[in-house]
Amino acid sequence: MSRNGNGNGLSRLGVSLVRVSDSQLAISGDMLFASATRLRAEGEKLLPGMAERVTVDLSQVGRVGSVGISVLMCWLRMAQVLGKTLVFVNAPDDMLDVSRVSSLDSVIPFSS
């Protein structure tokens, strides 16, 4: 397992992004305003070197705000530019609720 996310300051902000494999990322911790910029940048740094289809495991996400949904949307746009497909799995109920309220639940590819 290749770990990215520990040396970039994200863990200090209460969140980590780990490259599990060429086709999987995992987020753990809170996706809130304080970590959004770094989390977005780290994901955008990792995506170009990954497989054509990438699964992002959200099962370890704690608290999430609308900025967490914004980070996912930014990654989706970048993946589209790169010709890649992103699928988000194991999203917590809070994240699904925020995406519904924002009317983005039909835009973000959540899967169980």
8-60 pLDDT, tens digit per residue, is 567 777 899 999 999 999 999 999 998 999 999 999 999 999 999 999 999 99
Tell me the backbone φ, ψ of residue 45, rounded to 5 degrees.
-75, -35
Q: How many Å separate Cα 9 from the centre of its chain?
A: 16
pTM for this entry: 0.87
Class level of CATH domain 11-111: alpha beta
59 contacts: CB under 8 Å, gap ≥ 6? 26, 89, 90, 92
DSSP 2-21: ---SSTTSTGGGTEEEEEEE
Q: Which two tokens stand for residue 61?
A: 């996400």
Phi, psi of 99, deg, nearest 5: -70, -35
